[in-house]
Amino acid sequence: MTQLQRTLVASELATCVFGQSWALCKLSESLTKVGKAEIMTSAIDYVNQAELQIRWITHEIETLQNRVLHLQTLLPCE
């Protein structure tokens, strides 16, 4: 559990440093003892957020691929 908590805290720090969600950034108190339920809830939240980001990135990739295909049809092929 301690290792999972440290990983979650490090993940929160990385998210804040890279500016992905400054408004939602809440740094955990890593020096105090955290309950197992809170650690598991944080882990589930992390997984849910990662899944949302993956879906968003997948959609963005599909959109860009469609734009490239459209532009390729407008340009003469050599």
Query: Which residues form the domain of 59?
Result: 2-21+31-74
What tens digit of pLDDT does each residue of 26-60 get? Answer: 544 444 677 888 888 888 898 999 999 999 999 99
Residue 47 forms part of a structural domain: yes
Number of domains in the chain: 1
* Residue 65: CB atoms within 10 Å: 10
Q: For the residues 60-78, what does the mean pLDDT come to?
A: 91
7 CB-contact burial (10 Å; exposed 0-12 / middle 13-18 / buried 19+):
middle
Residue 49 forms part of a structural domain: yes
Residue 26 forms part of a structural domain: no
Instruction: Identify whether the C-beta of residue 32 lies closer than 8 Å to the C-beta of residue 5.
Output: no
pLDDT at 59: 98
Residue 38 forms part of a structural domain: yes
pLDDT at 29: 47
Residue 56 forms part of a structural domain: yes
Instruction: Name the average pLDDT for the chain.
Output: 79
Q: How far apart are CA 71 and CA 3, in angstroms?
A: 48
